[in-house]
A = this chain, B = another copy of it.
Amino acid sequence: MKQLSLDVNIAGIKMKNPVMTASGTFGYGLEYSQLIDIENFGAIVTKTVTLEPRIGNPQPRIVETASGMLNSIGLQNPGAKIFIKEKLPKLKEYEVPIIANISGRNETDFVKLAGLLKDIGLSGLELNISCPNVEHSGLFAQNADTTYKLVNKVRKVTGLPLIVKLTPNVTDVTLIAGAAEDGGADAISLINTLIGMSIDIQTKKPKLANVVGGLSGPAVKPVALRMVYEASKKVSIPVIGMGGIVTSDDAIEFLLAGASAVALGTVNFVNPNTCCEIIDGIKIYMRDNKFNKISDITGRVK
């Protein structure tokens, strides 16, 4: 039998398997290192880092929903300086590519951040232009023009592989995917969370202090899969698929739909061992279906 290879190369980021972490659900990797071998992941995407520290949104920040959850963490993070000085060095002790997810209020923030994060051992950058939990109305990723311009500016200041993370809260995700590609993205990732809401009927207040939040988990998988399918037909750069993945079957669906790699988000909270289970499942699937490498699966949906 031929040797199975789970390696993937996403925009120059070499991963030993196509299973990554989804930003914001794995902290800076360190918390989970007490429970699992974080080197099992193909790559680790950090919680969003911003230029300055952010205290995030008030409580409550989390609501459970049917087969999903709403969060409005609001990008709480210690800021770029502490990330570079305290978090990254510890994370770099592990043999796993590290991708920093970054966000900002405007183009300048992103450009500065991308500048700061050069030459410090990162394997790539993911631009979070799609977080629903910050003040400004309208996300970058809800408009093709702003997406194009932003990606283009960041592209100019970094040689790192650039992943652009898209929001599902749009009429046509292919337009934004195309704009990101044109702007110089090396890959796109999707979906970020769907904007949702929940109300406590007794207090008559929204259950999240921030009123709205981001919906994630198995509930959103059909939407995520459809968008990965649409976007990957549109662009020729690799697509990282995420949104509701729990089982290896889910992960394989995303690969078939057109993803070159997948990311695990909410499922980390439910079953932190999922990465290994998915890798095992993908291996069995490849054997059974005579696929030798991940790219044999990517986009194979008929």
Contacts and interface: CB of A to CB of B under 8 A. Distances in A.
A100 to B, nearest CB: 28
Contact of A197 (B68, B205, B257, B302): B257
Contact of A201 (B212, B229, B256): B256
A226 B301 CA distance: 33
A124 interface: no
Interface stretch (A24-32, A179-187, A216-224): A216-224
A65 interface: yes
Interface in A142-159: 142
A253 interface: yes
Contacts of A206: 301
A53 interface: no
Interface string A265-302: 00000000000000000000100000000000000111
A7 to B, nearest CB: 21
B198 A253 contact: yes
A206 B302 CA distance: 7
From A201, A229, A257, A300, name the one whose CB has the most chain B CB atoms within 10 angstroms: A201
A244 interface: yes
A199 interface: yes
Interface residues of A, number: 44
Nearest to A176: B171
A219 B252 CA distance: 22
Contacts of A171: 142, 169-171
Contacts of A300: 204
A302 B204 contact: yes
Nearest to A212: B226
Contacts of A285: 201
Contact of A196 (B67, B205, B222): B222
A194 interface: yes
A70 interface: yes
A229 B66 contact: no
Given A198-B253, A205-B302, A206-B301, A222 B226 contact: no
6 contacts: A142-B171, A196-B226, A199-B257, A215-B223, A218-B219, A219-B219
Given A65-B221, A66-B219, A67-B67, 17 more contacts: A65-B222, A66-B66, A66-B217, A66-B244, A67-B218, A68-B219, A170-B171, A195-B223, A196-B222, A197-B229, A197-B257, A201-B252, A204-B301, A215-B222, A215-B223, A219-B219, A219-B220
